[in-house]
Amino acid sequence: MKLELDEKFSDFLRDKIVSNYRSRLPRQGKWHVSDLLFPRYAVLNRRQPHQPTNDEIGFFLTGEAYHNFIQELLGKQNSEVKAEAIDVLASADFFDGGTLIEFKTSRKWTIPETPEEHYIKQAAYYAFIFAVKSVRISVIYPTSGRKWDGSTSSTVEIRSWIVLFSDEDITEIKEEMTGLVKDMTEAYKTGDVSSLPECPEWKFGSIERDKEKQEYYIKIRCPFTEICLCSSSLKEQLEYKNAHRRK
């Protein structure tokens, strides 16, 4: 028996995947629910479309694969259901007219007690657009339980939550969306995103440690950092860590 590493075929598959994602046309026209979650990024990305990196494509690929598999199990006829309200487009992962489910994939090693804040925000927008009072959030954690030292292997875990909304909540959600759409549309025209909510820190980047220099730095993820100049809190954390390190 002979075993050979086939790097050429690995590159062929990788190139196919990357080419597929990079050939997809950037969004145009009306705003989508996902745009409202990170409004600064959405506006800047429409003005200067960003080509996804290989790392980003890897994240997209795994998430899309899990989504498609579960949607097949629950029924394609109720998958990617479209709706619209106040010029915002929505595409529900699953909606059968009563139950609306948003599927997510997270690479967190530790499962949180509650879903991410932007997951809940997206559920709220769906509740208004689809005129429902509850939205189910189901998150797949394909690397849960993993540890840095390799002492524990990853296990695939699933957690689901139901978010309930009152009439007052729906009214507030509508008002918030209306104002956000107005501000985003104006920002798109002018290029000035300073009036829009900042993206969360993890969207901007993360604080990492340079072992050789023995200091911390920000590993930037956002391609618009020089234009947007947000995440002041992350920069403050960086200054504190490096100052504390020197003491």
Provide mean pLDDT across the span 210-221: 81
Classify residue 121 as exposed, middle or buried by CB count within 10 Å of its CB (0-12, 13-18, 19+).
Answer: middle
Residue 100 near residue 130 (C-beta atoms within 8 A): yes
Lookup: tokens for 223: 């391609």
Lookup: tokens for 182: 């107005």
Task: Look at residues 25, 165, 35 and name the one whose alpha carbon lies nearest to residue 87.
Answer: 35
Q: Tokens 């899309």 sit at which residue?
A: 64
Q: What is the pLDDT of residues 149-201, one digit of tens each?
A: 666 777 888 999 999 999 999 999 999 999 999 999 999 999 999 999 988 88
Name the more confident of 246 and 197: 197
Residue 31 near residue 91 (C-beta atoms within 8 A): no
SS (H, E, C) 142-197: EEECCCCCCCCCCEEEEEEEEEECCHHHHHHHHHHHHHHHHHHHHHHHHCCCCCCC
Q: What is the pLDDT of residues 34-57, one digit of tens each?
A: 999 999 999 999 999 888 777 778
pTM: 0.85
Determine phi and psi for 87, rounding to 5 degrees.
65, 25
Mark 190-227 as b/e (b = at least 16 C-beta within 10 Å).
eeebeebebbbbebbbebeeeeeeeebebeeebbbeee
Helix (H, G, I), strand (E, B) or coil at 37: helix
